[in-house]
Amino acid sequence: MVQLQRLIFNAISLGALCLSSFAMADKGASADEAAKELANPNTAFASLAFKNQFKSFEDDTELTQTLFQPVLPFLLDGGNKIIFRPALPIVYDSRNEESGLADISFDLVYAFGDTTPGTLFALGMVGSMPTGDDKVGGGEVTAIGPSLFYGKMDKQGLIGAYTSHIQSTDEGDLGDAGKLSVTSSQLMWINFASGGWT
């Protein structure tokens, strides 16, 4: 079973290498312009992202997770956007020799157009739905909360912070053990290099 899990994980990782930078860009956009837009959390480009996470424990067991997160922007008048980013986590747990889909989470933001040149701002919500397999710790907790992104972008790069708070609204059969109240911030600094690299 563990060998099958590793084979599946390796296949997904290879797919991630092939697809992680996929984006729909204007035909006239240069590599530098496309890289700059893809680095922008308020991007107008659709993209597919794979994130691999590994955890090892003192008892020599491992937990591996692949997170598939597409970015789906919807353009509005005035340069504003609605951006939906669902996250589908696939868990490979060697501790219990179980694999499966964990709870699906998402963020949905309203990104304001370029009201002040170089300023990025978005308000929205984050959530988690109990859709996961209980064998990998999913399927119980429903949670929701607010999110905020603020950043500055110029020719050299981008600096910003994405802050969110998620609070459980239903803990299912877990009761108090399933209560969730997490505030997190993702700080970012991206330097734009030439040739389409960030």
Question: Which has more pLDDT, 16 or 117?
Answer: 117
Residue 144 makes CB contacts below 8 A (sequence gap 6+) with 125, 126, 127, 128, 166, 167, 169
Residue 1 makes CB contacts below 8 A (sequence gap 6+) with 97
**Using 50, 70 and 90 to split pLDDT, how confident is the model at 198?**
low
- Looking at the 3D structure of the chain, how many domains does it have? 1
Picking from 121, 100, 108, 106, the residue whose alpha carbon sits closest to that of residue 82 is 108
**pLDDT per residue as tens digits for the range 117-160:** 889 999 999 999 988 887 777 778 889 999 999 999 988 889 99
Question: Which has more pLDDT, 166 or 140?
Answer: 166
Residue 21 has pLDDT above 70, yes or no: no
**pLDDT per residue as tens digits for the range 68-115:** 999 999 999 888 999 999 999 988 876 677 788 888 999 999 999 877
Q: What is the pLDDT of residue 171?
A: 78
- Residue 63 is assigned to a structural domain of this protein: yes
**pLDDT per residue as tens digits for the range 22-47:** 444 445 568 778 778 888 888 888 88
- Residue 113 is assigned to a structural domain of this protein: yes
- Residue 85 is assigned to a structural domain of this protein: yes
- Residue 198 is assigned to a structural domain of this protein: no
Q: What is the pLDDT of residue 177?
A: 67
Question: Which has more pLDDT, 83 or 62?
Answer: 83
pTM of the model: 0.75
Residue 49 has pLDDT above 50, yes or no: yes
Q: What is the pLDDT of residue 197?
A: 72
The rounded distance, in Å, linking the Cα atoms of 175 and 124 is: 28
Residue 169 has pLDDT above 70, yes or no: yes
- Residue 69 is assigned to a structural domain of this protein: yes
Residue 15 has φ and ψ, to the nearest 5°, of: -60, -35
- Residue 196 is assigned to a structural domain of this protein: no
Q: Domain range holding 104?
A: 2-191
